[in-house]
Amino acid sequence: MDETLSHVAGAATPPLLEQTIGQALDAAAARWGGQEALVSVHQGVRWTYAELKDRAEAFAAGLLALGLGPGDRVGIWSPNKAEWTLTQFAAAKAGIILVTINPAYRLSEVEYTINKVGMKAMVLAERFKTSEYVRMIEALAPEVAACPPGALASPRLANLTAVIKIGGEARPGWLDFDQVPGLAGAADRAALARIEAERQPDEPINIQFTSGTTGLPKGATLSHRNILNNGFFVGEAVGLKAGDRLCIPVPLYHCFGMVMGNLGCLTHGAAMVYPSDAFDPRAVLETVQAERCTGLYGVPTMFIAELGHPEFDRFDLSSLRTGCMAGSPCPVEVMKQVMGRMHMADVTIAYGMTETSPVSFQTGQADPIERRVSTIGRVQPHLECKVVDLDGETLPRDVPGELCTRGYSVMLGYWDDPEKTAEAIDPEGWMHTGDLAVIDAEGYGAIVGRIKDMVIRGGENVYPREVEEFLYRHPKVADVTVVGVPDARFGEELCAWIRLRPDEEASAEEILAFCRGQIAHYKIPRYIRFVDEFPMTVTGKVQKFVIRERMIEELALTAEATA
């Protein structure tokens, strides 16, 4: 391999895990059966690896009793709970593809997700914050109350037959989560054993939706092999070992929680510790102290919130040793405090994307602090990365271009979307990330920009085109363009410029009301301006950078807020 070029390859050891997630759970129960596997602090739940395996198998058999089988899709729509993880492992054992749904999704988003993948069953929390999940499903499928539990027939959600709720009072047509294992008989348990024996590591087991650049989200389809190995190698880089206790305040619906967190723990015999259903800095600090956590995950804004908590100094965090930061660059002063005040000397930085399971680059425990704040580390084992120009030619080291990844971690494709899959993964198997990067002489990568017109608001990726497509539905809107503008708190906020139809009038509040309850809160524009025209190029393309510059000037924002 020409070392003057940006093509780099990770280590060939340790070997890849050639097993399913169900087999990995069996191995963990056999090896560490009496050790704690899962602690959900806010629920008062503590399960050992042996208990987690038994519960997962019981729930999996119950799903089979409901008529699900290998290749069917089950959705999970909930904040962080023990039931979330139980569903994850139960689905893996039964070969049922888990579809992870963002807890912030609203009606139009969840309806699209259910129908796009032909979801057959859903597991959902009754409610979370302002989201009434059960009532939202009942709004989409009012027939549920008149149908026997497990036999839903709804024209709007044509494939959905079973809705399973976590907690809350009994409702007609709904199954309670705790009822599901009891549905299984001896035949279902025998069928589960046969199904498990037939599963293969390269089969699809997870669909995660990513916001689409052309409007609608795409379902990145991931295999056992994809995510089990990625969780393992992230755990290796972090230095996880049997008996470690990893505090996981990041959301489970995302790869950070369910792969880097849950599967990283599973493959190392560490405990998954959930401090709360959603991020709360005090809950994290209390949990680290009470549970003697040795590792902590989060995006930089989470660590900033923890360090900035007014009672920070009264918590004993001396049990911490390691962890992982991902999602956005970490300021050097924050990294120094995490390593010093939080005792996380071995903390790592990771970079990736859902389509690569997710991590492709990560810093090492021996890397100096300068490398942990200025780079994304080096390529992970069994992966290749390179930087290419617009023609797909590999560029030299230290020259910016599009980052591409190839290897075990690349997704199987976008669910039911061969065209978008072909756009993302080239014929040689390279996943084109859309990120602008450089790789230096020592193999360290750095992200220097974004090809895609993406906004990162508080760690959430938002594609303006998706928001634009939604706003186009408003009957008064003739045209709309959405850009990201700097924000001191969230990094970026959304701004929508709207051109109304002739003779129409509208207020910002009217537009916001149209969004509420239909799209996730972080996709709702913070700023709305009504204009007569957009700045355009001579070829008729909207000059979004001009809009952004004008808004920065008008709002007196600091462009460096997102640098």
pLDDT tens by residue, 80-134 = 999 999 999 999 999 999 999 999 899 999 999 999 999 999 999 999 998 999 9
The residue ranges of every structural domain in the chain are 46-210, 455-562
SS3 336: helix
Q: What CA–CA distance (Å, rounded) separates 145 from 160?
A: 14
Q: Which residues contact 178 (CB under 8 A, 6 or more apart)?
A: none
Strand partners, 273: 39, 247
Q: What CA–CA distance (Å, rounded) separates 77 from 97?
A: 14
pLDDT (mean) for 279-294: 98
Q: Percent of the chain beyond pLDDT 70?
A: 97
Q: What CA–CA distance (Å, rounded) separates 215 from 526?
A: 19
The yes-or-no verdict on residue 327 having pLDDT over 90 is no
Q: Whole-model pTM?
A: 0.86
The per-residue pLDDT of the chain, averaged, comes to: 94
pLDDT (mean) for 191-209: 98
pLDDT (mean) for 145-171: 97
As a CATH number, domain 46-210 is 3.40.50.980
Tokens in use for 69?
A: 């089988």
pLDDT-derived band at 461, boundaries 50, 70, 90: confident
What is the pLDDT at residue 478?
85
Beta strand residue intervals within 44-193, DSSP E: 45-48, 73-77, 97-100, 121-125, 162-166, 175-176
Nearest to 302 by CA among 259, 359, 236, 347: 347
SS3 541: coil
pLDDT tens digits for range 47-65:
999 999 999 999 999 999 9
CB 285 within 8 A of CB 270: no
Nearest to 141 by CA among 168, 97, 170, 172: 172
What is the pLDDT at residue 452?
63
Other CB atoms within 10 A of residue 191 CB: 18
Q: Which helix (H) or strand (E) is 88 found in, with range?
A: helix 82-94
Backbone angles phi, psi at 219, to 5 degrees: -95, 95
pLDDT-derived band at 423, boundaries 50, 70, 90: very high
What is the pLDDT at residue 448?
78
Q: Which helix (H) or strand (E) is 49 found in, with range?
A: helix 49-65
Burial level of 118, CB count in 10 A (0-12/13-18/19+)? middle
Architecture per CATH, domain 455-562, reads as 2-Layer Sandwich (3.30)
394 secondary structure, DSSP code: B
Q: Show the DSSP H helices in 310-411 as ranges.
A: 332-340, 369-374
Query: For the CA atoms of the chain, what is the radius of gyration?
Result: 23
pLDDT tens digits for range 516-555:
999 999 999 999 999 999 997 554 567 888 999 999 999 9
What is the pLDDT at residue 563?
36
The yes-or-no verdict on residue 213 having pLDDT over 80 is no
The yes-or-no verdict on residue 558 having pLDDT over 80 is no
Largest CA distance in the chain: 71
Backbone angles phi, psi at 21, to 5 degrees: -65, -35
What is the pLDDT at residue 281?
97
SS3 348: strand
Other CB atoms within 10 A of residue 57 CB: 24
Other CB atoms within 10 A of residue 186 CB: 8
Complete DSSP assignment for 281-333: HHHHHHHHHHHT-SEEEE-HHHHHHHHT-TTGGGS--TT--EEEEESS---HH
Other CB atoms within 10 A of residue 542 CB: 16
CB 174 within 8 A of CB 163: yes
Determine the residue type at 537. T
First to last CA, the chain: 33
pLDDT tens digits for range 380-412:
999 999 999 989 999 999 998 899 999 999 999
